[in-house]
């Protein structure tokens, strides 16, 4: 089973940008679709974005509205989430996930430990 380690979460101000990274190990990352989810205190885990194994097809949660971009570098076994125009409502723990299919984003079964993103107003 693939192991996932996220990094890049920090405190930023509203309107700023941030890039999260997720490194996969213990398996061949190209076998897996990759995704990002988030969970704010008191809320359920929410889908953010996903990307297919090879072709790089992507899918986003409705709230993203063009602000976030998911990408992957299979040579580095790494998936990224570029987040622009951050809002306080984006404050959450962001989780990287691996699964069989990027769409629909319902079959992700390997998860990282999460990285905290805090956006101040």
Q: So what's the pLDDT on residue 71?
A: 95
Q: So what's the pLDDT on residue 117?
A: 98
Q: Mean pLDDT of all residues in the chain?
A: 93
- C-beta separation of 17 from 67 below 8 A: no
Q: Which helix (H) or strand (E) element contains residue 116?
A: strand 115-120
DSSP characters over 11-57: EEETT--EEEEEEEESS-GGGSEEEEEEE-TTS--EEEEEE-SSS--
Helix (H, G, I), strand (E, B) or coil at 62: helix
Check pLDDT > 70 for residue 10.
Answer: yes
**Cα 71 to Cα 60: distance, rounded to the nearest angstrom:** 12
Q: So what's the pLDDT on residue 75?
A: 86
- C-beta separation of 48 from 81 below 8 A: yes
**Tens digit of pLDDT for each residue in 39-97?**
999 999 999 999 998 878 999 999 998 999 999 998 888 999 999 999 999 999 999 99
| The two structure tokens encoding residue 41 | 């205190």
**Cα 43 to Cα 39: distance, rounded to the nearest angstrom:** 6
Average pLDDT over residues 100-112: 89
Check pLDDT > 80 for residue 28.
Answer: no
Check pLDDT > 90 for residue 31.
Answer: no
């Amino acid at each position: 089973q693939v192991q996932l380690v996220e990094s890049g979460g920090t405190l930023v101000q509203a309107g700023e940008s941030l890039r999260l990274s997720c490194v996969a190990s213990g398996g061949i990352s190209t076998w897996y679709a990759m995704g990002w989810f988030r969970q704010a205190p008191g809320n359920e885990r929410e889908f953010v974005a996903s990307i297919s194994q090879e072709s790089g097809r992507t899918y986003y949660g409705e709230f993203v509205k063009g602000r976030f971009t998911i990408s992957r570098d299979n040579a580095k076994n790494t998936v990224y989430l570029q987040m622009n125009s951050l809002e306080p409502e984006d404050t959450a723990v962001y989780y990287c996930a691996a699964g069989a299919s990027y769409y629909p984003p319902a079959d992700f079964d390997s998860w990282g430990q999460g990285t905290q993103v805090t956006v101040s107003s």
